[in-house]
Structure 1
Amino acid sequence: MSNKQRALRAGLLTLTVSLAACANFSGITPQAQPRDAASLGLAGSDTGTAVAAQWWRAFGDAQLDRLETQALESNPNLKLAQARLARARAVIETAESANRPQFNGSLDLTHQRYTKTGAVPAPLAGSIQDTGTLQLGASWELDFFGKNRAALDAALGSAQAAQADAQAARVLLASNVARSYFQWLRIQDQLAVAQRTLSQREETLRLVRQRVEAGLDTQLELRQSEGGLPDARQQMEALQEQAALTQHALEALVGKPNASLGLEKHALAAIKNVAIVPVIPADLLGRRADVAAARWRVEAGMKDVANAKIQFYPNVNLVAFAGFSSIGTDRLLQSDSQQWGIGPALRLPLFDGGRLRANLRGKTADLDAAIESYNATVIDAVRDVADQVASMQSITRQQTEQRAAQQAAESAYAIAVQRYEAGLGNYLHVLNAETAVLAQRRLAVDLSARALDTQVALLRALGGGFQAEAASTTVSAIQK
C-alpha cells in the first residue's frame, strides 16, 4: 500500500470519528417501563395449567370438533391475520437484503445532437451522434454501526408480533365457536322447557274452564289462565329467534353458509365439563398470544429506536462499476471503450434541520406507546383470568343451591301428584307444583350453559393453547 493510500485511509478514518462525535441524541429517552409478572402478583411456581392446542376436544362433543375444524380452515378473519403475517415476513426479507451486495446492469443508447455553443469541443459540437453505455454496477453497504442489523431485528419483532396476532385470532375464533355452539344447545333445552310450559298452561286453561262451568271459579281466574297462553307462545317465539340468530353467528364464524343446518339437538348435560385449576398461573404472561404480540411490539420498538440513533452515524458503501461507453455504437464493445471504477462512499448528515432528532423522538414515542399498550394488555389478561375464576367458582356454588331447590320442587310435585291420584287434591295443585319444577329446570339450563361458557372463557384467558415456542420457530425459519 502506497503512502498516498495510507494517508487517504487515515484521513477518512479521522473524518469519520470526528463527524460521528457530532451525533447528538441526548435527552431523548423512553419514559415508560414494562410491567413484570412480580408486579402483577404472579410470582411463584407454575401450577401446571397449560391449555392444549385443541382444548375443545375435552368437551367430548363430535359436532363441536367438526365446527372448530371448519372454522379454522375457512374463517376469513383468520385468513386476514395470516395475510398480515405473510406481509411481515416480506419485510424481513427486505431488511435482510440490505446486508447483501447489490448488483445492477444498465444499457443506454442515445441518438443526440451536441450543441455548438456549449462545453462540447469540436468535432462533436453541432454534430449528431449515437452514444452508448453498457455497464455493470455493484454496491455493498458496510454496516459498521449496526443500522441494517437493527432494522432486521425490528422487522423480526414485527413478524413475531404478527405471528402472535394470528395465534390470538385463532384462539378467539375457537372460543367464539364453542361459546356460540353451547348457546345454541342452551336455547334448544330452553325450548323443550318452554314447550312443556305451554302444554301445562293449556291444561290449566282447560281445567279452569271446567271449573267455571261448574261454578267453582269466576271469570277472573279464566281470564288469568287465558293470558298465560300468549305469554308462553311469545317466550317460545323469542327462543326460536335466538336460535336462528345463534345459527347465523355460527355459520359466520365457520365461514360456510348453512353449516348449522345438520346440527343434532342434545342436552347440555351430555357435554363433559373441563376440569381447570381455579388459580392464576405464574407463567400466565407467557401463555397468551395477545401478551406475546404486545411484548414483541415492544421489542420491535426498541430496535426502531436503536436504528434511529444509528442514523446519526456515517453510512459507508463500497461502490464499483465496469463496462463500456463510446460515441458511436459501432465502437461500444471495443477494448478502448472500456471503463471501470471502484472506491468507498461516505455519507454523513451534518445539518439536517433537526430531522434526525425528530425521527428519534417519534420512534421513542412509539416505543413508549408500545410499552403502555403492553402494560394495559397484561393487566387486562390478569383481570380476565381473575374474572373467569370468580365466575366459575360462583356458578359452582349457584348450581349446588339450584339442585337443592329443584329437588325440593320435584318432591313437592310428586306429593301433589300422589294427592291428586288419591283424590285428596285437584289437578290445579299438580299444575301449580309443576310450575315451580319448570322454573327450576329453566334455571338449571341457564346455569349449565353459563358453566360451559365460563370454562371456554377461562381456557381462552389462560392462553387457549398458544405456543410461544412455535411462533418463535416459525419466524426463525424465515431467516434461513
Structure 2
Amino acid sequence: MNLCPSQSLVAACVAALLAGCSLMPAYERPEPPVPAAFPYGSPSDQRGAADLEWQQFFPDGTLRTLIAKALANNRDLRVAALNIEQVRAQYDIRRADRFPTVGATVGGTRAPGASGSSVTSYTAGIAFSSWEIDLFGRVASLSEAALAQFFASEEGRKAVQVSLVASVATTWLSLAADDELLELTRRTLATREDSLRLTRLRFENGVASEIDYRLAQSLAETARATLAQLQRQRANDLNLLGLLLGEPVPPEFQTGATTQAVRLPDLPAGTPSDVLVQRPDVRQAEQQLVAANANIGAARAAFFPRITLTAGIGTASSDLSGLFGGGSWGWTAAPSLLQPIFDAGRNRAGLAAALAGRDIALAQYERAIQSAFREVADALAARTTWSDQLQAQSGVVAAEEARTRLARLRYEAGAASYLDLLDAQRSLFTAEQLLVQTRLARLQNQIQLYRALGGGWR
C-alpha cells in the first residue's frame, strides 16, 4: 500500500512519538568531595583490596572455614539477600508496566427478543487492558528508578558481607588474644601463688615482714581477678562469634593460632578517586542517587498528556458451537488521552519532591564518600603508629624481663628487697599483657584497612 506525502509525514510523527522521549536528567557521577590523596598513603600499581578475595587475604585455614560458615548462615546477610529478591520483584513489576497486559475473555448474554423470545449470544476474544503509551518516558523513568534500587540492594548485600567478613576475622583474633592472655595469666598466677606460699612461710618464721606477705598476697589476688576477667571476656567473644556464624560455637573452641604467628598482607592505599568508588556502600549510595535522578523524569512527565489504549479482538455467535467457526470476527480500539489542566499543584509538588529527593541522595552519596575517606585515612594513620608501638612494646618486655632477672639475682644475693622483685614481676606481667594487646590491635587495624578499602565482598 502506498502512502501519500501527508500520510507519510503523519506516520513518521507517530513513529517518533511511539519511540518515546525521556525527560529524565542526564546522570553524571559527582566529583568526590575529598582530597586527591590519602594521608600516610601513596598511589600504587599493586592489586587493590577490592580485587583481593578474602580467601587470599586471610591465610589461616580455620579462619577461612569460619568465614565461609558465616556467609552461609548469618541472619543479617540472609536478610540482605532476601531484600534483593524483594527489590528485584518490584523492578519486575515496574518493567512489566512498559508492556500491555493481554488476557483472554469469554462471555455469554441472554436478552429478550422482539417477539418475546430470548436471544443468546456468545463472545470470545483477546483483550488489551489500559496500556499507557509512554510518550514522555514516565513509565521508563519509573522502571529506571526501580532498576537502580535493585542495584543498590545488591550493593547493600555486598556491604553487609564486607562488614561480616571483617567482624568474623576480628572476633577470631580477639579469641586468639584471649587464649594467649589466659595462658599468660595462669602462669603468672601459679608463680605468684608459689611466691605467696614462700612468703607466708618466711613471714611465719620471722624472716619476712608482713608488708612483704601482704604485697605477695595482693599480687596473687590481682592475678586471680585478671584471670576471671579474661574468662568472662573470652566467653563474650565466643558468644559474639556464634552470633556472627549463625550457629553455636563449642565452649572448648580454640583458634589454633596466636597473634604473634598470624601474618596479614600489607595493602596499597591507592587514590581516593579509584578506591572509594569500589566500596559497596559508596556504590549503594550512588545507585540511590541514580534512582532519585530517574524519579525526576517521571515527575516531569506528569505535566504532559498521558495516553492509554484499550483494545480487543474476538468473535461473536448466537451458537456456542459456532463461536470459533462461523462466528463474526471483529475488533475494538479505545485510545484515551488525559491532559492535566488543574490539579491543585499536585504535579508541581511532585516535581519539587523529586528534586529535593535527588538533592538528599546527592548529599548522602557525598557523605558516604567522606565517611569512607575518613575510615581509610584513620586506618592508614594507625598502621604506621601501631607498627611503631609494637616495636616499642617489644622493647619494654625485653627490658622488664632483664629487670626481673636481675632483681631475682639481687634478692637471692641479699642486695635487694623482696619488694623490688615483686615490683619487677608485676611490671613484666603488665608489659606482656600490653604486648599481646598491641599485636592484636595491629592485626585488627590491617583488617580494618582491608574493609575500609572495599575488600571482602568477592
Normalised by the shorter chain, which TM-score bucket? Answer: 0.7 to 0.9
| Amino acid aligned to 1:88 | V
| Amino acid aligned to 1:393 | T
> Where does residue 201 of structure 2 map in the other structure?
210
Give the alignment partner of residue 360 of structure 1, picking from 351, 360, 363.
351
Q: What TM-score do you get using the length of structure 2 for normalisation?
A: 0.84
How far is the alpha carbon of 1:377 from its aligned partner? Answer: 0.9
Q: Does 1:253 align with 2:251?
A: no
> Where does residue 71 of structure 1 map in the other structure?
70
The one-character-per-residue Cα deviations of 1:154-178 (angstroms, maximum 9, x if unpaired) are: 1221111111111101101000001
Give the alignment partner of residue 170 of structure 1, picking from 161, 176, 185.
161
> Where does residue 40 of structure 1 map in the other structure?
35
The one-character-per-residue Cα deviations of 1:3-43 (angstroms, maximum 9, x if unpaired) are: 9xx79x97xx89xx9xxxxxxx9xxx9xxx98523643349
How far is the alpha carbon of 1:316 from its aligned partner? Answer: 3.2
Residue segments in structure 2 that go unaligned for 5+ positions in a row: 18-22
Q: Distance in 1 between matches of 2:321 and 2:89?
A: 44
Asked if 2 retains the 8 angstrom alpha-carbon contact of 1:63 and 1:263, the reply is no
The one-character-per-residue Cα deviations of 1:422-466 (angstroms, maximum 9, x if unpaired) are: 665576654442222211110100100100111111110010145
Q: What TM-score do you get using the length of structure 1 for normalisation?
A: 0.81
How far is the alpha carbon of 1:79 from its aligned partner? Answer: 1.4
How far is the alpha carbon of 1:325 from its aligned partner? Answer: 4.4
Q: Distance in 1 between matches of 2:170 and 2:255?
A: 17
How far is the alpha carbon of 1:78 from its aligned partner? Answer: 0.8
Q: Distance in 1 between matches of 2:70 and 2:250?
A: 10
Write the mapping of 1:84-103 to structure 2, written as runs, cut at 5 A.
84-103=83-102
Q: Distance in 2 between matches of 1:327 and 1:357?
A: 53
Aligned residues, how many? Answer: 446
Asked if 2 retains the 8 angstrom alpha-carbon contact of 1:135 and 1:324, the reply is yes
Greater shift, 341-350 or 382-391, is seen at 341-350
Q: Distance in 2 between matches of 1:260 and 1:292?
A: 40
> Where does residue 471 of structure 1 map in the other structure?
none
The one-character-per-residue Cα deviations of 1:67-100 (angstroms, maximum 9, x if unpaired) are: 0111111112111111111222223322332333
Write the mapping of 1:455-470 to structure 2, written as runs, cut at 5 A.
455-466=446-457
> Where does residue 79 of structure 2 map in the other structure?
80
Q: Distance in 2 between matches of 1:73 and 1:447?
A: 32
Asked if 2 retains the 8 angstrom alpha-carbon contact of 1:287 and 1:466, the reply is no
Q: Does 1:409 align with 2:400?
A: yes
Give the alignment partner of residue 236 of structure 1, picking from 207, 214, 227.
227
| Amino acid aligned to 2:265 | V
Asked if 1 retains the 8 angstrom alpha-carbon contact of 2:166 and 2:456, the reply is no
Asked if 2 retains the 8 angstrom alpha-carbon contact of 1:134 and 1:323, the reply is yes
| Amino acid aligned to 2:301 | I
How far is the alpha carbon of 1:351 from its aligned partner? Answer: 2.2
> Where does residue 125 of structure 2 map in the other structure?
135
Greater shift, 430-439 or 76-85, is seen at 430-439
Residue segments in structure 1 that go unaligned for 5+ positions in a row: 18-24, 115-121, 468-480
Identity across matched positions, percent: 28
Write the mapping of 1:113-128 to structure 2, written as runs, cut at 5 A.
123=114
> Where does residue 184 of structure 1 map in the other structure?
175
> Where does residue 60 of structure 2 map in the other structure?
61
Q: Specify whether residues 260 and 354 from structure 1 end up closer, same or farther in structure 2 by C-alpha distance, changes over 3 A only.
A: farther
Asked if 2 retains the 8 angstrom alpha-carbon contact of 1:46 and 1:281, the reply is no
